[in-house]
Amino acid sequence: MLSFSWTKGACVTALVTILGLVLGAAAVQAQPVSSRVTDLRKTFMHGADGRVLVTAHRACWQQTSENSVDAIRQCVALGVDIVEIDVRRTADGELVLMHDETVDRMTEGHGATTELSFAEIRKLKLRDANGGDQPITKRAIPTLAEALEAARGHVLVNLDIKDPALYEPALQVAVKTGTLDQILFKSPARPQELSDSLKVAMAKTLYMPIVYERNGPLNTSVEAYKVLNPIAYELVFDTLEFMKNNASAVTQAKRRLWVNTLEPRHSAGIVDAAAVKDPAGTWGQLIGLGASVIQTDKPAELLAYLNATKKR
């Protein structure tokens, strides 16, 4: 997620979880595919409206494999709003999904993705869940095209591009797969630091800057990025006090505020492990302070909480 080689209270019971997921999935399935994306874009672009959007980090990998087609399909089935996937390029130019520089953690193979041909990549099989010592599955490392085909018409897609040179090729794949209107690009670069090619990419897709507490007051960032017309701001912050005092700068600009509960460094120590035990005191607290998009490794649990508290 925030990896850029070029800079960068009560428990939810089992009953509530099942009920929330059933209601959420039923609502998605009842909606025509084309209107699903239209609705998501409108909801995202109209700013904070009381509905909280859910982003699945590396897609819904808990019962599948991270960055896999099955993980994207699982997100669609759950009713997730946005999938975040990681894009790298093989030695011979194919765009594939892989978070790490090497394939070691997620497959039985070894070596950097950029040093392996697509044929070599294709022979490898993904490990279950988030890899490591998890068993090998029958799932192949997908191409970006295969991933976007699985997402087409169902969810927005946040592309975490590991090499800025891949923005334009990734856009071309989105055009070919008919998913350009579903793509979200984000970057920690200041407006004056953005390359012309990146600006072109952002003009064709949804765009969101990543801003940090260390950058100073949020109203300064909102003013600086206004020229690029972002639809949201991703905030990485060290203290809840900062979010409490600054979130209004984004909501008053009628934009969404995106936070992450992945690692302690992202949102003042608030993480998924604590959230599944006390969703109201974690996810609920962030929402109360202004968060309207949450990226998580626990999308099913977050969806259940949001459905149960009528924030969907």
Between residues 227 and 272, the one the model is more confident about = 272
CATH number of residue 262's parent domain: 3.20.20.190
Confidence of residue 34 (pLDDT cuts 50, 70, 90): low
Predicted TM-score of the model (pTM): 0.89
Residue 251 lies in domain: 14-308
Q: pLDDT tens digits, residue range 72-84?
A: 999 999 999 999 9
Q: pLDDT tens digits, residue range 254-308?
A: 999 999 999 999 999 999 999 999 999 999 999 999 999 999 999 999 999 999 9
- Cα–Cα distance for residue pair 60/224, rounded to 1 Å: 34
Confidence of residue 192 (pLDDT cuts 50, 70, 90): confident
Determine, yes or no, domain membership for 1: no
Instruction: Tell me what the mean pLDDT of segment 44-51 comes to.
Output: 89
Determine, yes or no, domain membership for 7: no
Determine, yes or no, domain membership for 6: no
Residue 30 has pLDDT above 80, yes or no: no
Determine, yes or no, domain membership for 4: no
Tokens of 241: 């006090």
CA-to-CA dists, residue 29 to 21, 87, 123, 255, 301, angstroms: 12, 28, 34, 28, 19
Residues contacting 42, CB < 8 A, separation 6+: none
**Count of structural domains, the chain:** 1
Determine, yes or no, domain membership for 295: yes
**The CA-based dihedral angle spanning residues 150, 154, 156, 157, taken in that order and rounded to the nearest 10 degrees:** -10
Tokens of 160: 């975490």
